[in-house]
Amino acid sequence: MYRNEAGVRDGIAASGLDRDDVFITSKLNNGYHAPDDARRAFDETLRALGTDHVDLFLIHWPLPTLYDGDYPATWKALEEFQADGRARSIGVSNFEVDHLERLAAECDVVPAVNQIELHPYLLNDAVHSYGREHGIATEAWSPIAQGGVLGDPVITEIAEKLDRTPAQVVLRWHIERGNIVFPKSATPARMEENFALFDFELEPGDDAAIAGLDRGEDGRTGPNPGVMDHVPS
């Protein structure tokens, strides 16, 4: 969907890093949920990335209103990719509790990861708790709400108190909650800032203050997974 697989391939080649020192995630695009299409799309992903395996492969959206709602059939195709070693681990993205429960009932492999929208304005608690209880790691997309939470007075006050930037406070909050974070930045100085999270801690009360910003559904920046049905052309 992001049309970035060739760019990732070229970036890794230019970096000089060994393949084993890089963790590559890709996702199944929404137009390819039918199992044969998923198989072809996965072959194409590996070809475009110039690698014989990815470290993690995700179903991007459950699309419960498309494909007869048969995301378990799509998941079974991903189980094949893991079994043949071409996907070291497999997971999902934007799956709600009912979607995860169906996979548990109808399929064999528990997703390693569920990548969901999660930031201080959308705690997504039900999905997060289900993951914690069932061994599914939660990966937070838009972890700083695309910058939208950085001016919040609760965040800026904690940042001033700790002498850190608002982005560092929010990313550290995720880390302390056990979330995987992958903030996007095209700005090298911000990339460095967003990695500098491991030489400080939040203070008592900070976690609760940040969690108190939750706006529930009103805090969502992206589509609701229960109705999301966009298939890119």
**Which residues are known catalytic residues?**
2
For position 200 contacting ligand NAP by CB under 6 A, the verdict is no
Interatomic CA distance for residues 121 and 152, integer angstroms: 10
For position 82 contacting ligand NAP by CB under 6 A, the verdict is no
Query: Binding string to ligand NAP for residues 19 to 58, with x set by CB under 6 A, is what?
Result: ----------------------------------------
For position 233 contacting ligand NAP by CB under 6 A, the verdict is no
For position 66 contacting ligand NAP by CB under 6 A, the verdict is no
| Interacting residues of 63 by C-beta distance below 8 A, sequence separation 6+ | 30, 33, 71, 228, 229
Can you tell me which of 45, 115, 124, 179 binds ligand NAP, judged by CB under 6 A? Answer: 115
**Tokens 């700790």 sit at which residue?**
162
Nearest to 167 by CA among 179, 186, 187, 151: 151
Residue (65 or 108) nearer to ligand NAP, CB? 65
Q: Number of residues in contact with ligand NAP, rule: CB under 6 A? A: 24
Q: Strand pairing partners for 116? A: 140
Q: What angle do CA 49, 51, 52 make, to 5 degrees?
A: 135
- Which DSSP letter does residue 203 get? P
Minimal distance in Å, beta carbon 81 to ligand NAP?
A: 18
For position 182 contacting ligand NAP by CB under 6 A, the verdict is yes
Alpha carbon distance, N-terminus to C-terminus of the chain: 10
Minimal distance in Å, beta carbon 157 to ligand NAP?
A: 17
Interatomic CA distance for residues 12 and 19, integer angstroms: 8
Q: Which residues bind ligand NAP (CB under 6 A)?
A: 60, 93-94, 115, 141-147, 150, 165, 167, 182-187, 190, 193-194, 222
